[in-house]
Amino acid sequence: MRSLALVLLRRFLFLPSQQLQSAQMNDTHVSHLTFYDHLSSNSLFSLECLLLYSLEHEPVTAVRQASIETITTLTNYSMQKGHLWPALFAQAVTMVKSQNAILRESAFGIFTGSQIRAMGMQIEDILFLLKSGLEDNESIDVSFWFTVSDHSVYSFVPILSSRSAFLLYVHPKTTF
């Protein structure tokens, strides 16, 4: 049920608001705004807090995956609108450092699916995070989440011009 609720939330938030207007309205004005665009800052903050809680505490795999998908969709749309979500980045960084493999998998799922950037981090800290994703010995899913998306490398380390150069720098045992 929680998984379905997250899917419906994601679809409802980004549904153009004109599609849910009353059929009685014959307004020719076309609105490209979604319901997300009509949220107050307090409502958006509450929604973000609930999603962060779900990301860190959800025990069911399918629901956790739905949380990741909802969070990444919300993050990407928010960033297009100029709204940053630093609390998400901070929580994802904390989760990468966790002893719990499920939390690390979820964090790299967020990094892979969204366009969050390394907000104010030093290059050494970014490289540590990326290296920990590549070298996770406990969970193959952590490495999978990390390597499944090339943009995760580029979004964190824009000064490194190629993926192979990055991999050689971070993971010298890599062969091409």
pLDDT at position 176: 44
In the predicted model, what is the mean pLDDT of residues 147-164?
51
The mean predicted confidence, pLDDT, of the chain is 76
What is the Cα–Cα distance from 82 to 122, expressed in whole angstroms? Answer: 23
With 0-12 CB in 10 A as exposed, 13-18 as middle and 19+ as buried, what is 2? middle
Choice between 23 and 121, residue whose per-residue pLDDT is larger? 121
Choice between 172 and 143, residue whose per-residue pLDDT is larger? 143
pLDDT at position 147: 63
Closest CA to 93 of 115, 72, 119: 119
On whether the CB atoms of residues 77 and 63 are closer than 8 A, the answer is no
Choice between 151 and 3, residue whose per-residue pLDDT is larger? 3
**Least confident range of 32-36, 77-81, 106-110, 127-131:** 127-131
Choice between 29 and 139, residue whose per-residue pLDDT is larger? 139
| pLDDT reading at 77 higher than 70 | yes
Give residue-wise pLDDT tens across range 32-46.
788 899 899 999 999
| pLDDT reading at 11 higher than 60 | yes
